[in-house]
Amino acid sequence: MSKRRKKSNNILVSLIVFVILCISGFFGKDYIVGTNELAKETSANELQITLSQNIDYAEEVNLDNDKLNIIFFYVGQADCTLIKLNDDVMLIDAGNNADGKNVVSFLQAKNITHIDYLVGTHADEDHIGGLDDVINNLDIENVLIPTVGKSGTDYKNVVETCENKNVLLQNPTMGDTFKIDKANFEIMSAMEEEGTSDNNSSLAINLSYNETNYLFMGDAETEVENSRSWAKANVLKVGHHGSNSSSSEKFLNEVKPDYSIIEVGKDNQYNLPSDKAIKRLEDCGSKVLRTDKANGEEVGSFWLTSDGNTIDIKEVNINLDGNE
């Protein structure tokens, strides 16, 4: 056989193999051919998580499991959120001054004596008022708090208590990352510019655990929401107790939360949450949960558990409001 004919035969065989591979790519299950769009679509479908269809009621909260646990507490017109994964714990805010003792009692009742990260999102009393009680009564490894508001009485109490207990106090900045067990956290906002309000100095924190994502906004308002882009969150701790100055349409169109949880006091003097904010949350397809109406018209808390691929939320009869 001539070299020219042999070369032609080799080219023909190569073309046949190429055609077979292309057909396998279009019709088979073992190949992805062409652009990455199909691969992205397949990957996205594989990463869809399963969400609770109904919010059930739980008689008892058992945190002794290997799942991510988040409790959005009712502490009246204030914020307090517990995050626990195996033996690692974070507490974001601790309510007003009067709430601190109740927060401590609940944690101790659940055999939580050590907190890896105690976060004061910003200097307002309804967020950091109870922090000194927590620091005084539990073993605290790190305290995170913004720099804005240092002149306030409650801020000074936190600093003094940290010094007395030899607890490390840190002022994180945007982009800082840390973790508890296999859950990863990132500071999404920590405004420090001169003239920044206490609310907009809030430490906005993103938590990612396997394929699930959670966003805690403190009292951050539209200025913070417009300051950057945001990733999709399965669960949003709504900013500023559901005020109309937070949860802007642009922000929600980026975050697209499946659940939006508002920590707010029953019959509060500020008439929160705002009807306008709730409408924006619902219009973006989010299921809105409120601690002032956790059990029908009764106050209560929400207990979330996740294995990183599924999310389950239950109503729980927990009231840590120290003013009641």
Could you report the per-residue pLDDT of 252-286, keeping only the tens digit for each? 999 999 999 999 999 999 999 999 999 999 999 99
Beta pairing partners, 80: none
Could you report the per-residue pLDDT of 55-75, keeping only the tens digit for each? 888 889 999 999 999 999 999
Q: pLDDT at residue 102 above 80? A: yes
Mean pLDDT over residues 220-235, rounded? 98
Could you report the per-residue pLDDT of 142-168, keeping only the tens digit for each? 999 999 999 999 999 999 999 999 999
Q: Which residue has the tokens 């998580």?
A: 49
CATH 3.60.15.10 in the chain is located at 55-316
Tokens of 222: 């539209």
pTM of the model: 0.85
Q: Which residue has the tokens 């802007």?
A: 248
Question: Is 123 within 8 Å of 201 (Cβ atoms)?
Answer: yes
* Cα 34–Cα 36–Cα 41 angle in degrees, nearest 5: 120
More confident residue, 49 or 322: 322
Q: Is the domain 55-316 a CATH 3.40.50.720 member?
A: no
